[in-house]
């Protein structure tokens, strides 16, 4: 029964004409990989022979990528620099069918770029050595903020869901947040200060973020339940979904219910980068397809269990979800 119900939701992915507005900190993720040759004579570091450079959407752009992969029509709102990284990121999003007309160019700041350099030796797995970040810590220029607000006002009446993907890079200013919250269904994925988004529909913190917001450690079922209740109180949300890594995730509803979902993949976890964006995308696609909050949480969990098997930020598809759904052996003690 569970698989049949979830499969029915997945089959509706991509059939809706409803659009999603993603507002947030767009990032270009670069993955430079190579083989370790020897130690350098110049410094105590390894010399890596370059094999491949891969560029993929990261940050809020990864949320856009994941939504598009699940068949959701998306509009990107964010800030890019005037550089080759911006050209690459815009091209990647447009290739996925993401509407990019609401992207604002700021020639005074670089496109946020995270370059991960990874290497492998003979008969060994690839491992990250160092990450290089390009970014600006300067506050958003008022003129740039005004352009963002204009774009959000234009699109707000046209979309079914607003996703605030807040990586604390400056796009989600108080004015931008306030305008986003005028929409009736806002999903928030932020690392800090959840209470800035009071009144949003859904929050998706991980355990460290939930602990920071609640003010105490989550160590057992009792503290988990208290944390869920505290976050609902602080945010005035309809739902809080705490992602718990190898322990799965727990969904808390404002009506008082709690639903615990186990991890569907504990043994093949290779890279958790961007998995939170995948959870948000899975939830959103399920919500647009008529799924209940419980179904949306399960499918977000299932989607994340797929992408963590790959190196770097990644996305999944409805076909992959259906394939992995068939392998699911868990049956909840509650109904969808």
Residue 125: which pLDDT band, with cuts at 50, 70 and 90? confident
Q: Is pLDDT at 336 greater than 80 in this prediction?
A: no
Residue 218: which pLDDT band, with cuts at 50, 70 and 90? very high
pLDDT at 115: 96
Closest residue by Cα to residue 55 from 119, 138, 96, 113? 113
Q: Give the CATH superfamily of 7-28+58-112+136-326.
A: Ribokinase (3.40.1190.20)
Catalytic residues: 277
pLDDT at 308: 66
Domain ranges of the chain: 7-28+58-112+136-326
The C-alpha atoms of residue 187 and residue 176 are separated, in whole angstroms, by 14
**pLDDT mean over 83-93:** 98
Helix (H) or strand (E) holding 118, with range, is strand 113-120
pLDDT at 191: 86
Mean pLDDT over the full length of the chain: 92
Residue 275: which pLDDT band, with cuts at 50, 70 and 90? confident
pLDDT at 270: 44
**pLDDT mean over 118-147:** 93
What 3-state DSSP class applies to 139? coil
**pLDDT mean over 77-100:** 97
What tens digit of pLDDT does each residue of 305-317 get?
887 655 556 678 9
**pLDDT mean over 162-168:** 96
Using the 8-state DSSP alphabet, how is residue 99 labeled?
B
Indicate the angle between helix axes 2-11 and 318-326, nearest 10 degrees: 170
């Amino acid at each position: 029964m569970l698989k049949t119900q979830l499969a029915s939701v997945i089959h509706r992915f991509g059939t809706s004409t409803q659009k999603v507005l993603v507002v947030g900190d767009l990032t270009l993720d670069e993955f430079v990989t190579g083989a370790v040759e020897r130690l350098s004579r110049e410094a105590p570091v390894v010399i890596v022979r370059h094999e491949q450079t891969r560029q993929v959407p990261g940050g809020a752009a990864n949320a856009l990528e994941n939504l598009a992969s699940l068949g959701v029509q998306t509009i990107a709102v964010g800030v890019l620099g005037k550089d080759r990284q911006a050209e690459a990121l815009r091209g990647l999003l447009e290739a996925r069918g993401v509407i990019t007309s609401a992207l604002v160019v700021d020639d005074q700041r670089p496109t946020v770029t995270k370059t991960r350099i990874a290497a492998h030796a003979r008969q060994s797995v690839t491992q990250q050595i160092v990450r290089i970040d390009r970014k600006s810590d300067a506050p958003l220029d008022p003129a740039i903020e005004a352009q963002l607000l204009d774009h959000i006002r234009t699109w707000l009446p046209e979309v079914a869901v607003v996703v605030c993907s807040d990586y604390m890079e400056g796009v989600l200013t108080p004015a931008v947040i306030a305008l986003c919250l005028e929409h009736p269904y806002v999903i928030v994925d932020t690392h800090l200060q959840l209470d800035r988004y009071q009144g949003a529909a859904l929050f998706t913190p991980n355990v460290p973020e939930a602990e920071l917001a609640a003010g105490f450690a989550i160590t057992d079922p009792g503290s988990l339940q208290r944390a869920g209740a505290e976050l609902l109180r602080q945010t005035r949300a309809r739902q809080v979904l705490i992602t718990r890594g190898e322990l799965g995730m727990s969904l808390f509803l404002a009506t008082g219910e709690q639903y615990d979902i186990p991890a569907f993949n504990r043994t093949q976890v290779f890279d958790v980068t961007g998995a939170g964006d995948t959870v948000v995308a899975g939830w959103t696609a399920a919500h647009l397809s008529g799924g209940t909050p419980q179904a949306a949480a399960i499918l977000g969990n299932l989607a994340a269990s797929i992408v963590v098997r790959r190196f770097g930020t990644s996305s999944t598809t409805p076909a992959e979800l259906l394939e992995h759904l068939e392998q699911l052996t868990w049956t909840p003690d509650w109904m969808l």
